[in-house]
Amino acid sequence: MRSDKDDRRVRYTKMVLKESFIKLLEKKDISQISIKEICEDADINRATFYSHYSDQHDLLRKIENELLDNINAHLTEFYQKSDNMNPVILAEKIFEYLKENAKLCKLLISERGDLGFQKRIMMLVYDKIITELTDNNKITKEDAEYVYSYTITGCVGIVQKWFDDDMKKSAHFMAEMVIKLTSGLMNSLKSGTQI
């Protein structure tokens, strides 16, 4: 049976490996990062690395999964607490979470980042947005998917710009901007306004 001390040691090991990996990712592409470099920076031996991860891509996948799980938990908690969902508060919570994890998030959604990860983030809100757009059959599901793609790509661009500007604008300001932009587009489509 594992002790709390062993669990703490494992958590610490994973944490320093992640931090070292992220530090290296800031400087170079994943294909240029060796396990040896990660382990040297983390002061962890290679056998310990391989007891947790198969390679640097596995480490990146697990970091991305953890981040997505945390964002999803924020979204789920918000949906459960609120029958009358305030989209600005939801978006603000997401921006606050992104800010708390800015170093990692900035890396993952940059041009050098993982496009697969960016698509997975976009899928977190896919069903909700598509349902909202197709409610009352104002637009078709196919048209809603085009609007969704446009909106989400724009949102990723806004987040990238926010990170590039060192997050000078508040999470609340950013949330209001995103909601105003997306709501305006959705409302014009629902009212039957031609694009």
pLDDT of residue 137: 58
Question: HEC states along 27-77?
Answer: HCCHHHCCHHHHHHHHCCCHHHHHHHCCCHHHHHHHHHHHHHHHHHHHHHH
pLDDT of residue 1: 52
pLDDT of residue 78: 65
* CA–CA distance, 99 with 166 (Å, rounded to integer): 10
- Per the listing, tokens 């990723």 go with 156
CA dihedral 115, 169, 68, 105 (to 10 degrees): 50
* CA–CA distance, 79 with 67 (Å, rounded to integer): 19
Tell me how far CA of residue 162 lies from CA of 117, 155, 192, in angstroms: 19, 10, 32
Count other C-beta atoms under 10 Å from residue 64's C-beta: 19
H helices, E strands: number in the chain: 10, 0
Angle between helices 102-109 and 87-100 (to 10 degrees): 100
Q: Domains in the chain, start-ordered, CATH in brackets? A: 1-53 (1.10.10), 63-190 (1.10.357)
pLDDT of residue 179: 81
What is this structure's pTM?
A: 0.74
* CA–CA distance, 35 with 169 (Å, rounded to integer): 37
**Averaged pLDDT, groups of 10, the chain, 195 residues long:** 71 94 90 94 95 94 90 74 69 87 85 74 70 67 80 84 94 90 72 56
pLDDT of residue 29: 86
pLDDT of residue 153: 82
Both tokens of residue 117?
A: 């990860």
pLDDT of residue 193: 54
